[in-house]
Amino acid sequence: MKHWTQRQALDGVTVSPDSINIEMQAQRSSITTLDRTQIPTNLVDHNNTEQNAIAQVWQDRSVGTGGEQSAARDTKTVSNGWQCITYSTGLTGWNSIGSSFTLAGFKGGSLYGEWSGNAMVFPAFCSTSGNIYPGSPRYCGLRILVNGVPLVERRGVALHEHFRVFGVGRFPQGDLVVQLQIHITDADPNDVLYVSGIGNTNVPQVHVYSNRYLFIGRYR
Amino acid sequence: MSRIQRQRIVDGEPIDATNLNDRYNDFAQPGALNQYNVRDSSIDLPQLKADWFTRNSWEQTLGEFNLSHSSVNTVAATTGGFPVAGHVVQDFGGTPSILNFGLGGLTIGTDEVLRLYWDLSVRPSYTGTPWTAVGSFSKYQFPDPPKTGVVDVATSADVWVMYPEWDVTSSLLTNFVPVPGQGDFNTNYTGARYGNALPDCEATTVIPAWVQVAFNAVDGSVSAPNLYDSGIGWRGVSGAWHYVGAPTTVYGIRWIIKGILHPEQATNVNYLGFDTVAGGTGTVQLEYTSGKAQAMIMRLG
């Protein structure tokens, strides 16, 4: 609160109009009792605010290993396919496409996050013997975890195509740890996993590349 | 809110210390220098200048709208002749669709990010079974027990690619190059193979060329009669890219389409390379009509 600076009114002291008038004049430039309804609009330029005071952006347009997922990389795949996830790599469930990363300095509030890239899924054996009700369409599920909580989750890609997932959530103050995760359809007992021949014959099943992310924290 | 509610002093009202202190306390607002008045309630969106966070945004139609598809643009698959220039996304009259930032261009500062998004209505198509052509990279051969042989199954990994190029030299817009992190798919990485290593595909949108599925695979084998292939059909494809880095002035952005390309590996590097054999078998093409491109420049904080 403000304090008297000119003539504090004490009991027993003679008072006059100046007792309050002078004090008011001395403090009339103060804005500590003004709120946003009394402050002019378009007052604050970007140069008037501290860095990240109101919003903050984190980004990487080549996340993972050169933008490629590194959850698994089978080197025994066929030559006309990528070194990527095969059923020989044993992946199941949700897996991070690379190391987690931290949204350092998040001040608490709204968080928007988007993750985009390309995903290749080998779709041929979507309906194997004895697995037709329903079939087992191959797909690559996608989700963004923030401090272990899903920000967005999607069933994802079923062919070789581009994807973009985005979501918004509210999170408390503090650094946020983010994981970009994929989920591949598990192998079926009748699946065809190897091409004919000798040597590197594993069939590429899933790969995710061109990975990029952009997060925006809004603190107001 | 901090507004004084006490009535003015009127004639006959005592003006003693208590009265004055009450009025001063009204003005001084005990507790006014608190979180609410100084932080939460002091400044909000109305007080921020309109360009405080997002400096500007732009939108550009890509191609040309035609809901009935009575008119389309058509891109033929590459059959050779490298380097491949590619097809510039354009309207039906052949005028390139360029996201134009004007004579002065758009200057991206060190503390800013350029966000770029695009979409396009496309229809990949083919005739025959291009993936079975001799020399094509677009098939796997799996055991076919009834014939004690093998059967060709499409990898369904063939794609068309679409990526942005920008001109950072002048508003004449005659010097387009792929945006940073994006290659032009003309790298000769082994033998007669051309394409991009995957780390050079930062701004690439891939569009599937076809799909083939097999039903009733049994014990790791599949029979040819159980294969079904299909065109992709009209669909909307999209892409995204953003730039943060050295200060740059951008004058325009356009989009390139090339195809068809297929995954492969060389010296333990993953590539997306042209499959000119499959692309040259039958009629492999990509039709498109329209879409939109949006750009937004924002501060990083």
> Per this entry, what is the length of chain B?
301
B54-73: average pLDDT:
96
Instruction: Classify residue B31: in a domain, yes or no.
Output: no
pLDDT the model gives residue B230: 86
User: Looking at the complex, does the CB of residue B29 fall below 8 Å from at least one CB of chain A?
Assistant: yes
pLDDT the model gives residue B147: 66
**8 Å CB contact between A158 and A123:** yes
Name the minimum distance, in Å, from the CA of A216 to any CA of chain B.
9
Contacts B148 to A, Cβ<8 Å:
none
pLDDT the model gives residue A48: 80
Instruction: Classify residue B244: in a domain, yes or no.
Output: yes
User: Looking at the complex, does the CB of residue B106 fall below 8 Å from at least one CB of chain A?
Assistant: no
**Coil, helix or strand at residue B291:** strand
Find residues 55-94 of chain B whose CB sits inside 8 Å of chain A. Answer: none
pLDDT the model gives residue A17: 75
**Coil, helix or strand at residue B19:** helix
Instruction: Classify residue B253: in a domain, yes or no.
Output: yes
Contacts A37 to B, Cβ<8 Å:
1
**8 Å CB contact between A85 and A176:** no
Q: What pTM was estimated for this model as a whole? A: 0.86
Strand segments (E) across chain A? 55-60, 94-96, 101-103, 109-121, 127-128, 140-146, 149-157, 160-171, 176-184, 206-218
Name the minimum distance, in Å, from the CA of B33 to any CA of chain A.
6
Q: Tell me the per-residue pLDDT of A35-55, one tens digit each, with 9 for 90 and over.
A: 667 778 888 888 888 889 889
Instruction: Classify residue B62: in a domain, yes or no.
Output: yes
- Residue to mutate among B147, B153, B206, B244, with most A CBs inside 10 A, is B206
B217 → closest Cβ in A42, A45, A191: A191
Name the minimum distance, in Å, from the CA of A93 to any CA of chain B.
23
**Least CA distance to B232: which residue of chain A?**
A159
Which of A119-123, B24-28, B30-34 comes out lowest in average pLDDT? B30-34
Nearest to B100 by CA among B127, B61, B63, B52: B61
Tell if the CB–CB gap between B202 and A212 is shorter than 8 Å: yes
Q: Per the structure, how many domains does chain B have?
A: 1
B179-198: average pLDDT:
97
**8 Å CB contact between A42 and B49:** yes
Kindly state the tokens that stand for A46: 């970007």
Question: Is the pLDDT reported for residue A5 higher than 70?
Answer: no
Residue B42 pairs with which residues in a beta bridge?
none
pLDDT the model gives residue A112: 97
B29-43: average pLDDT:
64
CA–CA distance, B286 with B162 (Å, rounded to integer): 11
Q: How far apart are the first and last CA of chain A?
A: 25
Of chain A, the percentage scoring pLDDT greater than 90 comes to: 57
Contacts B201 to A, Cβ<8 Å:
67, 118, 209-210
CA–CA distance, A16 with B275 (Å, rounded to integer): 95
pLDDT the model gives residue A16: 76
Kindly state the tokens that stand for A81: 């396919």
Instruction: Classify residue B2: in a domain, yes or no.
Output: no
Question: Is the pLDDT reported for residue B75 higher than 50?
Answer: yes
Centre a 10 Å sphere on the Cβ of residue B128 and count the other Cβ atoms it contains: 12
**Least CA distance to B52: which residue of chain A?**
A46
Instruction: Classify residue B250: in a domain, yes or no.
Output: yes
Determine phi and psi for A134, rounding to 5 degrees: -85, 180
**8 Å CB contact between B32 and A33:** yes
Which 8-state DSSP code applies to residue B181?
A: T
Task: Give the mean pLDDT of chain A.
Answer: 87
Which of A56-60, A98-102, B218-222, B237-241 comes out lowest in average pLDDT? B218-222
CA–CA distance, A88 with B225 (Å, rounded to integer): 28
Instruction: Classify residue B80: in a domain, yes or no.
Output: yes
Tell if the CB–CB gap between B217 and A78 is shorter than 8 Å: no
- Residue to mutate among B115, B142, B262, with most A CBs inside 10 A, is B142
Task: Give the mean pLDDT of chain B.
Answer: 91
Centre a 10 Å sphere on the Cβ of residue A48 and count the other Cβ atoms it contains: 13
- In which region does residue A175 sit, left (phi positive, over 0), alpha (psi from -120 to 50) or beta (all else)? beta
B266-290: average pLDDT:
97
Residue A184 pairs with which residues in a beta bridge?
A140
Which of B9-18, B151-160, B162-171 comes out lowest in average pLDDT? B9-18
Name the minimum distance, in Å, from the CA of A159 to any CA of chain B.
7
B166-183: average pLDDT:
97
Tally the C-alpha atoms within 13 A of residue B179's C-alpha that lie toward its C-beta.
28
Tell me which residue range forms the domain holding B156: 50-299
pLDDT the model gives residue B1: 43
Which of A95-99, B18-22, B277-281, B289-293 comes out lowest in average pLDDT? B18-22
Which of A8-12, A164-168, B50-54, B172-176 comes out lowest in average pLDDT? A8-12
CA–CA distance, B2 with B26 (Å, rounded to integer): 9
Centre a 10 Å sphere on the Cβ of residue B137 and count the other Cβ atoms it contains: 24
Instruction: Classify residue B163: in a domain, yes or no.
Output: yes
- Cβ neighbours of residue B92 closer than 8 Å, sequence gap 6 or more: B64, B66, B71, B73
B222 → closest Cβ in A40, A55, A192: A192
